[in-house]
Amino acid sequence: MKVEIISIFPRMFDETFHSGMIGQAIKKNLMVIKALDLRDFTNDKHRTVDDRPFGGGQGMVLKAGPLFRAVEFCREEEQTSPHIVLLSPQGCRFDQAKAKELSLKARLILICGRYEGIDQRVADHLTDEEISIGDYVLSGGELAAAVVVDAVSRLIPGVVGRSESVLEESFMDGLLDYPHYTRPAEFRGWRAPDVLLSGDHEQIREWRRRQALLQTRCRRPDLLTSATTNSEEKEDESG
């Protein structure tokens, strides 16, 4: 997968993508991530990317021109057509299902806004969809873009170890994680659950599944909607 990110702070992505799992994916050529500087697509000597809002008011608005030219530059580079995403609090909420959907695209372009807003014609006529990572205002779209790239790249075959991803798919789909423990077995008087030290892998599997269900029901009941988890929940209440 190739991801191009358009931003006025392209260096914000340097460290983010060169460490950990994404760094490995880039080394293995499973991912190509390029951060483009929006100012390279201006055509005045001050490299202006913003202007005052029509209608008046505080702050500045990101101009349409440089953003359109940046996307057009990316489009002309290659044959395969990119899926173009604008990160904004006005977008549809990003979740694991959206991450899966985006992971199937060969090319993504992520547009990061700044200042008080982006010229609406970018959302209306340049982008395929607008995505929000949550109901809060950030200083810009960059951190949201990094979140999307991280969640999407883990779903690209080969990025995460095969056994781990298969486990996530079938065992944990749509649930919160179960609690984890490591040595020592007793830490400051708190013991790790005995079942995890028992060596009985069937029991351990059952315990983890049950913990995941309990945790989800308690903290995020809104996630428990699928038929399988609902029937397991009923078993859980009776048993």
Taking CB atoms, the residue at the shortest distance from ligand 9WO is 113
Per CB under 6 A, 117 contacts ligand 9WO = yes
Does 126 sit near ligand 9WO (CB under 6 A)? no
Binding mask 72-111 for ligand 9WO (x = CB under 6 A): ---------------xxx----------------------
C-beta closer to ligand 9WO: residue 4 or 50: 50
Of 20, 134, 158, 161, which one interacts with ligand 9WO (CB under 6 A)? 134
Give yes or no for a contact between 51 and 63, defined as CB atoms under 8 angstroms apart.
Answer: yes
Which residue of 8, 31, 38, 118 would you call a contact of ligand 9WO, by CB under 6 A? 118
- CA torsion through residues 94, 12, 68, 58, sign: positive
Q: Which of 15, 56, 137, 183 binds ligand 9WO (CB under 6 A)?
A: 137
Query: Among residues 4 and 175, whose Cβ is nearest to ligand 9WO?
Result: 4
Confirm or reject binding of residue 6 to ligand 9WO (CB under 6 A).
no
Interface with ligand 9WO includes 114 (CB under 6 A)? Answer: yes
- The two structure tokens encoding residue 96: 């694991």
Site string for ligand 9WO, 12-51 (x = CB under 6 A): ----------------------------------------
Residues that bind ligand 9WO in the complex, under the rule CB under 6 A: 87-89, 113-114, 116-118, 132-134, 137-138, 140-141, 144
